[in-house]
Amino acid sequence: MNAISQDVTAMTDSSAATAESRAAKFMKRRNRIRFYEILVWIAAIAAIFVAPTKLLILTEIAILALFAVSLDLVLGFAGIVSLGHAAFFGLGAYIAGLMALHFIAEPVVGLIAAGLVSGVLGFLTSFLILRGSDLTRLMTTLGIALMMAEVANQMAWLTGGADGLGGFTVGPILGTFEFDLFGRNGYIYCLVVLFLVTMIARRLAFSPFGLSLKAIKGNPMRAGMVGVPARRRIVAVYSLAAVFAGMAGALLTQTTSFVSPDVLAFHRSADLLMVLVIGGTGYLYGGIFGAIIFTLLKDWLSVVTPQYWMFWIGLILVAMVLTGRDRLARWIEFLPDRFSRKEAGR
């Protein structure tokens, strides 16, 4: 409302107000729901009825997508390259498993607990990534993840060590919806969580907060000069991303009712980076598209050539970078632009 009224009087108002109204307009435009977003969610819901045999892989995609959305907040918005995001994912997975084993089998409680604990770890470690170059951050995050993996292996009395944590059953969701063998309820559960988290992340990313993050990504020093508290913003977004990553880990535990030590493995962080880059960074849905493409591709390749699928994934990566990742990732932007022009006459 406010924005619109300002819009009308913008011409005659003082220059400050004009700037404000332009800012409001800009924010509104950024915040507009795009065509492809609706498409994604409709397709995701329709899949329950149309593709009942593919729900398990869709569940995996939803979890990976959630994990990727979490990394996108850090990488795409704040510009922090992390090779250790699995630390939070794994912690969340273990917390959810331990909750189910010792305290309460109901998954939503476990999900929230996992998110909170991971968030605390994210907050504590965020201070380590404030300084340094890309390479330094890469290595610090990687180091943290590797140490977490080693801790999980050493504390076998708690985590089951290399054998993994099993022997628990995850109760029905909210006490009513049982996890079935076809993965239907599991999928719906993951989808709901993914939707909620994406909406929260979206709200945040396209707010002034998100803009200030992009400013930090662009040039931290300049961002500081125009009054953006860079350090505090980074700590906040990193902790939040950790919460989401922990939730993704919890979902994995709850849909598989098992925690294997490889939830903390290096390849998870590396795959994740790949997923995000395939889908494109900095607009949140990149994680979702990337997860869909990456998982289906990998599944298809590993059926066609169980031993050598890695070669083809590698080839695709190389080809992608050589043809220009940006060009490829922007394919999705063409769609909404065309539609949005029609609607809003931008």
Partner 1 sequence: MLTILFDGIAYGMLLFILACGLTITLGLMNFINLAHGAFAMAGGYITVVMMNRYGISFYWCLPAAFLLTAAIGAILERTLYRWLYQASHLDQVLFSVGIVFMSVAAADYFMGGQQQLINLPPELSGRMEILGVGIGRYRLFTIVVCAVLVVLLQLILSRTRFGSRLRAAVDDRRVAMGLGINVSFVFALTFAFGSGLAGLGGAMGAEILGLDPNFPLKFMIYFLIVVSVGGTSTISGPFLAAMLLGIADVAGKYYVPAIGPFVIYALMIVMLIIRPSGLFARGAGR
Partner 2 sequence: MMRGMLLGAASLVMALAGTLPAAAQEVVKIGLILPMTGPFASTGRQVSAGAKTFMEMKGDTVAGKKVELIIRDDAGVADQTRRIAQELVVNESVQVLAGGGLTPLAMAVAPVATQAKVPMVVTSAGTAAITKASEFITRTSGTLPQYSLPVGTWAAQNGIKKVVTLVSDYGPGLDAEKWFTKEFTSKGGEVSEAVRVPLQNPDFAPFLQRVRDAKPDAVFVFLPSGVGSLFMKQFADRGLAEAGIKLIATGDVTDDDILNSMGKPALGTITGHFYATAHDSPENKAYVEAFEKANNGMRPNFMSVGGYDSMALIYAALEKTKGDASGPGFMEAVKGLSWTSPRGPVSIDPETRDIIQNIYMREVKEVDGELHNVEFETFAALKDPEKAEAK
Q: Decide which of partner 1, partner 2, none touches 39; Cβ closer than 5 to 8 Å per partner kind.
A: partner 2
**Residue 46 interacts with partner 2 (CB under 8 A)?**
yes
* Residue that the structure tokens 């397709």 belong to: 43
Contact 247, 114 (CB under 8 A): yes
The C-alpha atoms of residue 228 and residue 222 are separated, in whole angstroms, by 9
Shortest distance, CB of residue 261 to partner 2, whole angstroms? 7
Shortest distance, CB of residue 211 to partner 1, whole angstroms? 21
Residues of this chain that bind partner 1 (CB under 8 A)? 81, 128, 131-136, 138-140, 142-144, 146-147, 150, 154, 266-267, 270, 273-274, 277, 307-311, 313-318, 320-322, 325
Shortest distance, CB of residue 137 to partner 1, whole angstroms? 9
Q: Decide which of partner 1, partner 2, none touches 188; Cβ closer than 5 to 8 Å per partner kind.
A: none
The C-alpha atoms of residue 26 and residue 66 are separated, in whole angstroms, by 27
The C-alpha atoms of residue 281 and residue 290 are separated, in whole angstroms, by 10
Question: Any idea of the CA torsion for 233, 239, 245, 251, to the nearest 10 degrees?
Answer: -130
Q: Decide which of partner 2, partner 1, none touches 105; Cβ closer than 5 to 8 Å per partner kind.
A: none
Segment 255-314, which members bind partner 2 (CB under 8 A)?
Answer: 256-258, 260-263, 265, 267, 296, 302-303, 306-310
The C-alpha atoms of residue 70 and residue 201 are separated, in whole angstroms, by 8
Shortest distance, CB of residue 47 to partner 2, whole angstroms? 6
Backbone angles phi, psi at 103, to 5 degrees: -115, -70
The C-alpha atoms of residue 63 and residue 89 are separated, in whole angstroms, by 10
> Alpha carbon of 317 to those of 133, 273, 278, 294, 307: distances in Å?
24, 12, 8, 11, 18
Q: Decide which of partner 2, partner 1, none touches 177; Cβ closer than 5 to 8 Å per partner kind.
A: none
**Residue of 147, 162, 319, 321 that binds partner 2 (CB under 8 A):** 162
Contact 163, 101 (CB under 8 A): no
- Residue closer to partner 1 by CB (options 319, 335) is 319
Instruction: At 29, list the tokens.
Output: 């435009």
Q: Decide which of partner 2, partner 1, none touches 50; Cβ closer than 5 to 8 Å per partner kind.
A: partner 2
- Residue closer to partner 1 by CB (options 308, 331) is 308
Amino acid in the structure at residue 236 = A
* Residue that the structure tokens 């819901």 belong to: 45
The C-alpha atoms of residue 61 and residue 64 are separated, in whole angstroms, by 5
**Residue 183 interacts with partner 2 (CB under 8 A)?**
yes
Applying CB under 8 A, which residues contact partner 2? 35, 38-39, 42-43, 46-47, 50-51, 53-54, 56-60, 150, 153-154, 156, 160-164, 166-167, 169, 181-183, 252, 256-258, 260-263, 265, 267, 296, 302-303, 306-310, 339
